Amino acid sequence: MIVFLLFRLTVKKTISYLYNAILPQTARSNRCISNILVCFIIVYCVYGVKRHTIQSILNIWKSKLDWKGYLHMIRQIIQIDEELCNGCGACANACHEGAIAMVNGKAKLMRDDYCDGLGNCLPACPTGAISFVEREAAAYDEAAVKAKQAKEAQAKEEAPKPAPHFGCPGTRSRAIERTEHPAAVSCDCSSAGNTVHSQLTQWPVQIKLAPVNAPFFQRAKLLIAADCTAYARADFHDRFMRNHVTLIGCPKLDMTDYAEKLTEILRLNDIQSVTVVRMEVPCCGGIEHAVKSALLNSGKMIPWQVVTLSTDGTILD
C-alpha cells in the first residue's frame, strides 16, 4: 500500500512539474485535468501489471524446465498409435525436422523438441496411426532442428566420392530407380497372373562387394539379410526390401567377419535405420552379431531390429 501511494505521489508531482514548466498558465487553471491524467495513468499501470503478473504465473505453472534444460509446456504435438502403424516409413520421410524414426519396424517420435506440431506427417500415414494431442512436451527448438539439418548437409558434402570403377562389371556400384507399382504393395504371390516387381534399389548386393562410400547409402534404410532368407520367404521383396538398400551375405560360406566393413558403412554414411533378416539356424547368428558389433563400433544411435525366419519362411520374431 505504501509503495502504491508513493508511486501515485511521484507520478502526480512529475506531471504537475511538466505542466508548470511547459504550460504554467494552463497547469494552474486546469488542476483537474492533471488529476484525471494521473488517475488514468495509475489505473492503466496497475491493471497492466496485474494482467501481466497473472499471465506470467500461468505460464510458469504450465511450463517447466526438465533436468536437461528443455522448456516444457502444454502444446499440440503428434501421437503415434503403434497398433495401427504398419512400418511403411512414409511419416519419417515426410517429417522434414527428423522428429520421427523407425524403431523395431514401427514409427516413433524420437524428440519432442524436433516436432513443430504442424502435422506434415499426418496425411502421409496410410493407416491413420498419427493424430494430434495436447500434452506436456518440450518446446519446439527451431535452432536445434536447423543445426541438425546443417550438420547432415555438411556430412553429405564431405562424404568421400566413389573412385572411378575399374575391373569386373559385377562389382560396379550403381543405384536402381524403381517405379511404384500399386499391385505389388499387397501382392498375393500365390495368385495366378500377378506380376511381382523387384524391389532391389542398388547394385552390388553382396556385403563383400559393396563400396563403403557408395552414394546409395546416404540417408538409406539398410536391410542386411542372410542369403537364404529371400528363398525362404515368398514376399521377401515386398515385405523387407521395399524402400531399402539391401546387403546380403552368409557368414558360414564367406568365412569372414562382416563387422569391420559394416562399421565403415555406418560410420561414413547417414544411415536412417538397420533391419537384419536371418534364418533360425545357429550359423546365421554370425550376421546378427556382426551388425550389433558394427552399430556399437560406429558410435551412432541408429534404430535397428532383427527379424528371424524359420526354415519354412514363417516369421518367428
What ranges do the domains of the chain cover? Answer: 2-62, 71-145, 173-179+196-309
Residue 263 pLDDT > 90: yes
Torsion over CA of 223, 226, 232 and 235, rounded to 10 degrees?
A: 10
Residue 47 pLDDT > 60: no
Give the end-to-end CA distance of the chain in Å, rounded to a whole number.
Answer: 72
**Alpha-carbon torsion 91, 241, 275, 277, what sign?**
positive
pLDDT at 200: 92
- SS3 state at 161: coil
DSSP code for 106: E
pLDDT at 185: 41
**DSSP characters over 4-21:** HHHHHHHHHHHHHHHHHH
Given CATH 3.40.718.10, say whether it is the number of domain 71-145.
no
Residue with cell 523407425: 102
Strand partners, 136: 74
- Exposed, middle or buried by CB within 10 Å (0-12, 13-18, 19+), for 166? exposed
d(CA 52, CA 49): 5
**Distances, alpha carbon 153 to alpha carbons 169, 211, 218, 243, in Å:** 31, 21, 11, 21
Each residue's pLDDT tens digit, 121-176: 888 888 889 998 998 888 888 888 898 888 888 877 776 666 665 666 655 666 66
Q: What is the mean pLDDT of the chain?
A: 78
Question: C-alpha cell of 35?
Answer: 488529476
Geometric angle at alpha carbon 32, from 31 and 35, rounded to 5°: 90
Of 37 and 58, the one with more pLDDT: 37
173-179+196-309 CATH choice from 3.40.1360, 3.30.230, 3.40.50, 2.60.40: 3.40.1360
Statement: the pTM of the whole predicted model exceeds 0.85: no
Each residue's pLDDT tens digit, 107-130: 899 888 899 888 888 888 888 899
Instruction: State residue 132 phi and psi, 5-degree precision.
Output: -95, 145
As a whole number, mean pLDDT of residues 184-202 equals 65
d(CA 88, CA 240): 10
Are the C-beta atoms of residues 41 and 11 closer than 8 Å to each other?
yes
